[in-house]
Structure formats: C-alpha cells, structure tokens
Amino acid sequence: SSTDGPKSAHFDICSKNLKYKFSENAFNTNILKRHSGQYYTLPPTHIQKLFPYGLPPRFQLQIKTFNEGCVMVRPPALELISYLKRADYSKPPLRYVLYGDIGTGKTMSLCHALHYCYSQGWLIVHVPDAHLWVKNCKELLPSSSRPSRFDQPIQASQWLKNFKITNERFLSKVQLERYVWTKRESTEKGQPLGELIDQGVNRMKSSSDVVGAVLRELRLQAGGATEGEGAFKLAVAVDGVNALWGKTSLKKEDRTMCEPEELTLIHNLRKMMKNNWSGGAILTALSQTGSVFKPRSAYLPSELLGEEGFDNMEPFVPVSVSNYNEKEFESCYLYYLDRNWLQHPHSRSEEGKKELIFLSNKNPSILERLCAFL
C-alpha cells in the first residue's frame, strides 16, 4: 500500500502488519499501544505545513526518496503522548525533556508528539535546533531596543516565516497589545497576529524583538479565554534545549565571547521555558551533536544542561530514549526491505542481518547510515 489514498475513517494495515495510515483516531491510546514498533504514514500535507524545517535532514532525504514519510511508534513517544492527554491545562505547563545517547531518536519522538499536538489543533511554537542560534551567525547586530543585547535578524526572520506556515489558522484569531518598534512604526492594540509577523519578516532590523513580542503574546493568551473561540493550547517544542544555557561560539566586536544571556532570541526563549503561564506544554529534547564545547560522551540532562540549565528547567519530566529493541529492529529491517532500500544480496540473508545488528548495535541512526550504502 504505497499509494497515498484519501484520508479514510478506518486505518489500513499492510499485509506484513508493518505500516498503517494516519487517520482521525490514529492517536487513540489502545490503537497506539497495539501498533508499538510499527510505522505510521504521515500525510504529505501535514509534513509540508508542520515540518518544513523541523525534521532531521537525513529523514527529510528519506521522505524524498521513498515518496512517503513513515515514523515508527516507539515507547518514548507513546509515553509523551499519554502524558499530554492526561495533563491538566488549567495549571502551569509541564516540562518534558527527552534525553538519550546520540542517534537514539530524540528528535523523531519529539516530532511524533508534536504531530499529535498539531492534529489536536494546538498552536505550535517549534524551534527545530536551538544550537543554530548560538553558533555560526553571520550578522550580529546590537539590539535596537536594549543597549547590552545582540540581535540575530536572519535567524529571527527565518523562524517567523516558518511559524507563519505552521500556524496559519491562528494568524487572524489572536489579539494584541501595543508595541512600539521605532519612532514612526508601532503596532496598535487589537491588530491580528499576522500583521505583527509580517512586520518582523519585512523589517529585518526589529525581527528579534518581534519574536519576543510574539512569544509574550502567546504566553499571555494561551491560558486565558478558556471557553469561546479564542481558546487554544500552546505547545512549545525546543530541540537542543541545552543551547539556551551553555556557551555560545559567537564573538562581540571587541573579540570577547558572547554570553547566551546577551542574545535577544535566547533571552526570550528562556522566558518561555519558565512555567509562569498556563494552558499548554513544553516539550524539549537535549542534543549533543550540535552543541558547542560539550564532550561527545555527555548525554544525561545534568551533564548537557549544566548547573544553571538544570536549576532553570527543574522540575521536569525526563523521558529516556534508547536504541531499538529486537522487535523494533525487526520492524525497521522489514520496512527497508519493503521500500526496496536494502539492495545488497547478503544484507537480505540471515547472516547479513546479524552483521547489521553487530555493526550498528541497534542504534537507529547508525543502522540508517549503514543500510544507506548496502
């Protein structure tokens, strides 16, 4: 069943019990538990809207090659979705931290949970990789509003464009307070959110401040208006959250190192991580691969977040992500066979499978890179 048919009310399970299509009741707990270890197909419209930038690059290549996006249902994502279902949204948001060794599937589990939030109609604030904001910035402007801060116009405007694509239906709903950008430009009270974002995208100079304003607005309005049309739940998803409290590799003009505190984007995102608002959830994942000045062997929250980060994030719900178990490995192997990806004749034999297990230690990313050239 490799053709994408219309969204049906019931789901198809292919003959090998391997894949099933996303549908309205795809996130029902019993159904998810039954399909643990199996793949489910993400509809292409959802991928375009929700994940133009959020998925890992190798997975994006895989979607392009196989002509479909399939995610494996794994225990960490199931845990996260069950917590999201049972949480009380009148109270301050819970912080969930996905941690694990390199290549075990933290970003994919985060994206799975985010897809759940999107299908339930939440407003998504997704920072695909916070590490991109603390390193390799070509333009670092001194902030227009505050003297000791630095702006990153390119990153901020890029993020605003992506936010616009994901949350199109919320652009007209949300109302604002008054913000003043320069002597001549200001956004009045009661204007829709879409105008604020356009302001940020068009005027690159103030885009970082616009990001801060957007986040503040969403924080204020997520919990309020529990009944009526304006109600929405806010999902804040940050990948590589340890970038917010680590060191940056950016330098100021006098050649001293920049602290993350001095960057507007990081400062505003830190405010988002505090739980002084209500009506949503904060989903985060740690990441060592993009981090600056952290050793490769560090994967625990205390090591990657550091003292300051841990104190700020505490209390949080840790969710551990590990390598595939045997059933999941089987499922991944069968999926690659089904998609005609494992071409080498030896890899299709029993001995070849044992070799793959030995070489990859059932680590998802290493297995993927191995099977790529076999």
Partner 1 sequence: MAASVRHLLKPWTPSLCLVRWSRYNPYYLDPDPSKDARVPESELSPEEKELQELKTVSPIKAALSSDTSSAFNDPLISKFINMMMQDGNKILARGIMTQTLETIKRKQVEKYHKSPAAKREEIECNPYTVFHQALENCKPIIGLASVQKGGKSYQVPVPLTDNRRRFLAMKWLITECRDNKHRRTHMYEKLSQELLAAFANEGNVVKRKHDLHKMAEANRAYAHYRWW
Distance of closest approach, residue 183 Cβ to partner 1, in angstroms: 45
Instruction: Report if residue 372 touches partner 1, rule: CB under 8 A.
Output: yes
Residues 250 and 260 sit within 8 Å (Cβ to Cβ): no
Choose, by CB under 8 A, the member of 25, 29, 45, 67 that binds partner 1.
67
Distance of closest approach, residue 352 Cβ to partner 1, in angstroms: 7
Distance of closest approach, residue 56 Cβ to partner 1, in angstroms: 16
Q: Judged by CB, which is closer to partner 1: 261, or 355? A: 355
Q: Judged by CB, which is closer to partner 1: 11, or 66? A: 66
Instruction: Report if residue 183 touches partner 1, rule: CB under 8 A.
Output: no
Instruction: Report if residue 2 touches partner 1, rule: CB under 8 A.
Output: yes
Question: Residue by residue, what is the 3-state secondary structure of the chain?
Answer: CCCCCCCCCCCCECCCCCEEECCCCCCCHHHHHHCCCCEEEECHHHHHHHCCCCCCHHHHHHHHHHCCEEEECCHHHHHHHHHHHHCCCCCCCCEEEEEECCCCCHHHHHHHHHHHHHHCCCEEEEECCHHHHCCCCCCCEECCCCCCCEECHHHHHHHHHHHHHHCHHHCCCCCCCCEECCCCCEECCCCCHHHHHHHHHHCHHHHHHHHHHHHHHHHHHHHCCCCCCCCCCEEEEEECHHHCCCCCCCECCCCCECCHHHEHHHHHHHHHHCCCCCCEEEEEECCCCCCCCCCCCCCCHHHHHHHHHHHHHCCCEEEEECCCCHHHHHHHHHHHHHCCCCCCHHHHCHHHHHHHHHHHCCCHHHHHHHHHHC
Q: Judged by CB, which is closer to partner 1: 141, or 374? A: 374
Instruction: Report if residue 172 touches partner 1, rule: CB under 8 A.
Output: no
Q: Judged by CB, which is closer to partner 1: 202, or 349? A: 349
# residues near partner 1 by CB under 8 A: 19
Q: Judged by CB, which is closer to partner 1: 165, or 359? A: 359
Choose, by CB under 8 A, the member of 17, 24, 61, 318 that binds partner 1.
61
Distance of closest approach, residue 231 Cβ to partner 1, in angstroms: 42
Binding map of partner 1 across residues 330-359, x = CB under 8 A, - = no contact: ---------xxx-xx-xx---xx--x----
Q: Judged by CB, which is closer to partner 1: 48, or 67? A: 67
Q: Judged by CB, which is closer to partner 1: 91, or 346? A: 346
Instruction: Report if residue 15 touches partner 1, rule: CB under 8 A.
Output: no
Q: Judged by CB, which is closer to partner 1: 193, or 342? A: 342
Distance of closest approach, residue 216 Cβ to partner 1, in angstroms: 43
Distance of closest approach, residue 61 Cβ to partner 1, in angstroms: 7
Burial class from Cβ neighbours inside 10 Å (0-12, 13-18, 19+) for residue 366 reads middle
Instruction: Report if residue 64 touches partner 1, rule: CB under 8 A.
Output: yes
- Phi first, then psi: give them for residue 245, nearest 5 degrees: -120, 10
Instruction: Report if residue 120 touches partner 1, rule: CB under 8 A.
Output: no
- List residues near partner 1 by CB under 8 A: 2, 61, 64-67, 339-341, 343-344, 346-347, 351-352, 355, 372-374
